[in-house]
Chain A
């Protein structure tokens, strides 16, 4: 063993250490992904935020998609990818089979007005481009509400149903703008009403926001959202949340533009 060999060993060790540090850093960054904007619901019900945005959703892990035009999106969402896709009321943790792949429904609360599907998918280690997200929420109305409009924004195209009726279709490569797609006037029945969406992303960021507007185009807040039983937080998610809390306290200013790549961090 000569000096030259030892130098080589030292160089390899140093390089490995550096890569480990970098990887650790990426892991840490990745770990903050989901908890920053998406959390596991911890209450039986949730009211919309001050602007009426619905912040509790069930989201299915993404399905491969291709195309954002009217016809491409319509063809995609009308094709049966899993059983009863336009009628099923899923529960957190339910698994569906899509083309041989098992995809899981996740209950999430968003801290923001919008639901960041990019974070959601990356946290699952899933594709974020050329994908379709199915989302469902259950609105509980204290009484019948007439002349209500569902109002959404989505990145990118999306189609929406209220109680099984298609009410909105917005197409093309677009950003999630508040009150972009708005339904015609509709009636919400007393009790449960199902809102279902299909968001198709082409590339890059993807998210959506949704709220209900009254006859005067004002946000409706006297409703609640409940998704049924939410599975207990796994130890893995607890670790991720704890890690994210630590990261927030140390790097609160870090931008969400940082790449998130750790596929091991999941909600449950």
Chain B
């Protein structure tokens, strides 16, 4: 299927890198919703890394992207080496960046670059060559490109996986102090086959090897998809969910093409702590951006011991339900049943009455209090219902979800309000109104009559490992504490410190 591209993956990537320098200015300056903002053209992005208040990622061809908030990106300084699919890690006071170069088909080197900072404006910004840490000779069953770096938090040992289709994905150990190969005489270990963009992560007692299968570098015709296997040992064997060894082509699908994006590849983990994880990747083709290759950052979830690719929140009208209590966020106003309060009707009609369609409130066939009104009941009209609401601030509470207007929340990007890693700040309003959820002094909640864009009205949504959401205001008046939406009781919500072990701060965002 991907033979054409398997033959010359490196050339394809280099060609693409040249295109990427031009494409962003054509397509990416438009402010688009639900993809990262501004300049996000990149191919084979490295794991996103945070340095001195900024996020960085590096791609094939020496490209780099910088962001102040993780949402709005701009082009960064090129690397001194314009190689393939770099990866970067921060250990101690150094940043180790690994970048590959093909010098012939399957003949390649992975070079180490070292810097004390990633900030080009810092006086300490200076890339130093660290030498070759892995290579392939053009004959052996491996193509030494696509480095993926992994620091084992258990052992503090540093590992590098690499390889691209021609044979095996290989594993070597590096020196965490220098970033260099620990022992050149130790033969690299094969851990997977027929894939590329490998990288390892550790989670809950397992080592996971992520690789990208399928073809790259052909836009919307790219079959890229990210797969995973796992092992109790860092050295493998890495087995997929069906028991197939990745050395024999195994790999459980983690993320494939969907929606308007095609060909996801090059996984990179960004751990926000407290159980909040994101992963970076690129799509070979974003149809909304002319089929260009772009960066994305998505929530990383876990289920039954396997990674699950979360989705960034999409604009819509939602029910916001507490995982702890099962009750939903609402305005503290008197609710009215959808369709009006039920009225006790007369006895069931006689047989002769049960023909034809009931009109208005006529007793429908069957009669009685369980028969309804005999015709569809429209959804509640918020314009009508909200006439009963006070004009000023309204308290926030929680209640059983009853499809009522004060329980339906419109969640949408705030617009020009910046964002955080992978997503924009959102505003949360009662659908069909301007009633805006806001944080108050003292860490409580209120619905304001209008959205003004102030920080306490901007909300961040972080999807947690179980798929529920953590919801957090950008700012709280009079406080610098990072508090999140919390169900302190069945019928009351507040802002409180996030406890990753509690369900109080976990929310389900449901379609109403």
Interface string of B428-468 (1 = CB under 8 A from A): 00000000000000111000000000000000000000000
B494 within 8 A of A: yes
Q: Cβ of A177 and Cβ of B333 under 8 Å apart?
A: no
Check A171/B489 contact, CB under 8 A, given A184-B442, A184-B494, A185-B442.
Answer: no
Q: Cβ of B334 and Cβ of A182 under 8 Å apart?
A: no
Q: Cβ of A177 and Cβ of B490 under 8 Å apart?
A: yes
Chain A residues lying within 8 Å of B333, measured Cβ to Cβ, are 70
Residue of A with least CB distance to B494: A184
Chain A residues lying within 8 Å of B444, measured Cβ to Cβ, are 184-185
Q: Cβ of B488 and Cβ of A149 under 8 Å apart?
A: yes
Quote the shortest CB–CB distance from B33 to chain A (angstroms).
Answer: 35
A177 to B326 Cα, complex, angstroms: 13
A249 to B489 Cα, complex, angstroms: 38
Residue of A with least CB distance to B336: A69
A229 within 8 A of B: no
Chain B residues lying within 8 Å of A197, measured Cβ to Cβ, are none
Q: Cβ of A181 and Cβ of B489 under 8 Å apart?
A: yes
CB pairs A–B below 8 angstroms (19 shown)? A70-B333, A151-B488, A153-B490, A169-B332, A170-B491, A179-B490, A180-B489, A181-B491, A182-B491, A182-B492, A182-B494, A183-B492, A184-B442, A184-B444, A185-B443, A185-B494, A213-B488, A217-B488, A217-B496
- Tell me the A128-181 residues at the B interface (CB within 8 Å): 149, 151, 153, 168-172, 177, 179-181
Q: Please list the residues of chain B having a beta carbon within 8 angstroms of any beta carbon in chain A.
A: 332-334, 399, 442-444, 488-492, 494, 496, 504
Check A151/B442 contact, CB under 8 A, given A70-B334, A171-B334, A184-B494.
Answer: no
Q: Cβ of B442 and Cβ of A181 under 8 Å apart?
A: no
Quote the shortest CB–CB distance from A218 to chain B (angstroms).
Answer: 12
A171 to B492 Cα, complex, angstroms: 12
A182 to B496 Cα, complex, angstroms: 14
Residue of B with least CB distance to A185: B442
Interface size class of A (residues with CB under 8 A): 20 to 34
What 7 additional pairs, Cβ within 8 angstroms, besides A71-B334, A151-B489, A182-B491? A70-B333, A151-B488, A169-B332, A179-B488, A180-B491, A185-B444, A213-B488
Cβ-Cβ contact count across A and B, 8 Å cutoff:
41
Interface string of A174-204 (1 = CB under 8 A from B): 0001011111110000000000000000000
Chain B residues lying within 8 Å of A149, measured Cβ to Cβ, are 488
Residue of A with least CB distance to B493: A182
Chain A residues lying within 8 Å of B399, measured Cβ to Cβ, are 172
Q: Which one of B332, B443, B490, B494 contacts A180 once the chains associate, using CB atoms below 8 Å?
A: B490
Quote the shortest CB–CB distance from A109 to chain B (angstroms).
Answer: 25
Chain B residues lying within 8 Å of A184, measured Cβ to Cβ, are 442, 444, 494
Chain B residues lying within 8 Å of A169, measured Cβ to Cβ, are 332
Residue of B with least CB distance to A170: B491
Q: Cβ of A181 and Cβ of B334 under 8 Å apart?
A: no
- Residue picked from B333, B488, B504, most chain A C-beta under 10 Å: B488
Interface string of A213-231 (1 = CB under 8 A from B): 1000100000000000000
List of 7 A-B pairs having minimum Cβ-Cβ separation, nearest first: A182-B489, A70-B334, A182-B492, A179-B489, A180-B490, A182-B488, A181-B491
Chain A residues lying within 8 Å of B488, measured Cβ to Cβ, are 149, 151, 179, 182, 213, 217
Chain B residues lying within 8 Å of A183, measured Cβ to Cβ, are 492
Chain A residues lying within 8 Å of B490, measured Cβ to Cβ, are 153, 177, 179-181
Check A181/B443 contact, CB under 8 A, given A70-B333, A70-B334, A171-B334.
Answer: no
A151 to B489 Cα, complex, angstroms: 8
A125 to B317 Cα, complex, angstroms: 51
A140 to B504 Cα, complex, angstroms: 30
Chain A residues lying within 8 Å of B496, measured Cβ to Cβ, are 217
Chain A residues lying within 8 Å of B332, measured Cβ to Cβ, are 169
- Residue picked from A69, A153, A179, A213, most chain B C-beta under 10 Å: A179
Chain A residues lying within 8 Å of B491, measured Cβ to Cβ, are 170, 180-182
Quote the shortest CB–CB distance from B507 to chain A (angstroms).
Answer: 17
A172 to B444 Cα, complex, angstroms: 24
Q: Cβ of A69 and Cβ of B489 under 8 Å apart?
A: no
A149 to B504 Cα, complex, angstroms: 16
Chain B residues lying within 8 Å of A171, measured Cβ to Cβ, are 334
A153 to B333 Cα, complex, angstroms: 19
A171 to B491 Cα, complex, angstroms: 10
A181 to B399 Cα, complex, angstroms: 10
Chain B residues lying within 8 Å of A71, measured Cβ to Cβ, are 334
Interface string of A62-79 (1 = CB under 8 A from B): 000000011100000000
